[in-house]
């Protein structure tokens, strides 16, 4: 039995809703990729900050993932690949950037823990995008 209120059903059934939801999910990656592409020295410095060497390789891979993944998801073609790229990238980025389990107690650890679990939520969102695309739902 479907108990979804009718107004919510209208919003969910509105064709552009799925596209705008996917756009919201990938927006930070698009902005990040464009920003890094426009400021290569900062992209290199970010990779070096996290100890990734050679930084140029990691910066180029990051830009590619942050631009190609969202475009695949938004285009509705090879959604599983775009969602997989961003999900794996986000998982490993969270491990590298938010390793709260090695930090002493305090506000920095608390912030890193929150950021880590927020990123795990994004990973779950990418899995859902791939599931819905496979099922042919959500205009994906």
Q: What is the pLDDT of residues 65-91, one digit of tens each?
A: 999 999 999 999 999 999 999 999 999
Question: Looking at residue 140, what is its pLDDT?
Answer: 43
Q: What is the pTM of this model?
A: 0.89
Question: Looking at residue 138, what is its pLDDT?
Answer: 47
Q: Residue 52 burial by CB count (10 A; 0-12/13-18/19+): exposed, middle or buried?
A: middle
pLDDT in tens, 13-64: 998 999 999 999 999 999 999 999 999 999 999 999 999 999 999 999 999 9
pLDDT in tens, 102-114: 999 999 999 999 9
Whether the predicted pLDDT of 2 surpasses 90:
no
Q: Can you state the angle between helices 79-97 and 55-75, rounded to 10 degrees?
A: 140
CB 98 within 8 A of CB 115: yes
Burial 121-130, CB ≥16 within 10 A → b, else e: ebbebbeebb
Residue 4's H or E segment, with its range, is none
Q: What's the pLDDT band for 1 if we cut at 50, 70, 90?
A: low
Whether the predicted pLDDT of 115 surpasses 80:
yes
How many residues are recorded in the chain?
140
Task: Taking residues 130-134, report their average pLDDT.
Answer: 94
Instruction: Select from 79, 84, 74, 65 the least CA-distant residue to 132.
Output: 79
Q: How many CB atoms lie within 10 A of CB 33?
A: 22
CB 138 within 8 A of CB 132: yes
Q: What's the pLDDT band for 137 if we cut at 50, 70, 90?
A: low
DSSP 104: P
């Amino acid at each position: 039995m479907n108990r979804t209120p009718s107004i919510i059903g209208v919003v969910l059934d509105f064709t552009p809703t799925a596209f705008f939801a996917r756009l919201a999910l990938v927006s930070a990656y698009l902005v990040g990729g464009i920003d890094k592409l426009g400021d290569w020295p900062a992209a290199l410095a970010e990779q070096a900050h996290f100890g990734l060497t050679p930084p140029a390789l990691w910066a180029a891979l990051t830009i590619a993932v942050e631009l190609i993944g969202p475009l695949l998801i938004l285009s509705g073609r090879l959604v599983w690949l775009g969602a997989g790229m961003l999900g794996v990238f986000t998982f490993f980025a969270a491990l590298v950037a938010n390793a709260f389990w090695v930090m002493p107690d305090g506000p920095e650890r608390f912030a890193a823990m929150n950021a880590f679990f927020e990123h795990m939520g994004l990973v779950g969102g990418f899995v859902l995008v791939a599931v819905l695309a496979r099922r042919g739902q959500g205009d994906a």
